[in-house]
Amino acid sequence: MFLRKTILPLLVMMACHCYGNEIITSRDSGTVIITLQNAADKLSKIDSVFVIFDRFDLRGAGVVKKVFYPDTENKVQVSLPKGKYYISIYCLGIYNKESFDRVIKAADHKTSNIFLRLQVSALYKQGLARIPADHFDPSHLAILNFGNK
């Protein structure tokens, strides 16, 4: 009987603690919102980005190193302690050749926005790939050119 009365309140207490824990931020933190704009190809969803935040005065080696998954509006929101940061952003997925480096300042209870424009992605489509013709000339082989030196 005692066990039944204690399990239910403990479960409710743990569920409430886990649900509200992500929203609470520290007093001296700021928010950085990274917006990835793929204006040329709006149908291609940005899969994920690898973000590295490093302190500007070089006393924190990679404060945040994490893969983020943008929301439906292609935005990534990160909460950081106040200070100045180097940011390295590497796109993953179909935009894997895109990378950005920025310097940003995170202030108390302020929101900093970063807008990044992505180039057009080059996906393979059947029938549209063009492979250039390769011309093989055996006279240019190194084994046949031993007498020219």
Residue 33 makes CB contacts below 8 A (sequence gap 6+) with 75, 76, 77, 78, 111, 112, 113, 114
Instruction: Round to whole Å and give the CA distance between 107 and 82.
Output: 5
Residue 82: predicted pLDDT = 84
Q: How many CB atoms lie within 10 A of CB 25?
A: 13
Nearest to 52 by CA among 76, 74, 28, 26: 76
pLDDT at residue 62 tops 70: no
Range scoring the smallest mean pLDDT among 34-38, 50-54, 116-120: 116-120
Report d(CA 141, CA 144) in Å as an integer: 6
Domains of the chain, CATH where assigned: 28-118 (2.60.40.10)
- Give per-residue pLDDT as tens, 111-143: 888 888 887 665 556 666 666 677 777 777 777
Give the predicted TM-score (pTM) of the model.
0.59
